[in-house]
Amino acid sequence: MKIDDELMKHDDERIICRCEEITLGQIRKAIQDGARDLDSVKRMTRAGAGLCQNKTCYNLVARIIHMETGIPLSQLEPFTSRPPVRPVPVKCWSNVHV
């Protein structure tokens, strides 16, 4: 049995993106609603937008898109990465000399 077959036989309640708790069913629904790439799935579900910045779920989401649409994995662009943004206290800049 191939890994893709193993992945797709799970029920829709299976968590795919652990950070955002996005299920296989939610990702399938996004694809049914027109998502054809990783960023579209991310915008529609938040899969890949969590703390790990899709290090954990990237391959799974890409494989689900591939299995549902037939788009080759080699044609799927990776998620757009964004650095995590956190507030920085002003005192962190007090010793900076310009």
Where along the sequence are the contacts to ligand FES (CB under 6 A)? Answer: 17-20, 47-48, 50, 52, 54, 56-57
Q: Which is nearer to ligand FES, 25 or 50 (CB)?
A: 50
Q: Which is nearer to ligand FES, 59 or 69 (CB)?
A: 59
- Name the minimum Å distance from CB 38 to ligand FES: 11
**Position 55, amino acid:** K
- Name the minimum Å distance from CB 2 to ligand FES: 22
Q: Residue 35: left if φ>0, alpha if ψ -120 to 50, beta else—which one?
A: beta
Packing angle, helices 38-45 and 24-32, rounded to 10 = 110
Q: Which is nearer to ligand FES, 18 or 70 (CB)?
A: 18
- Name the minimum Å distance from CB 15 to ligand FES: 9
Q: Tokens 């990776």 label which residue?
A: 78
- What whole-number distance in Å separates Cα of residue 98 and Cα of residue 77? 39
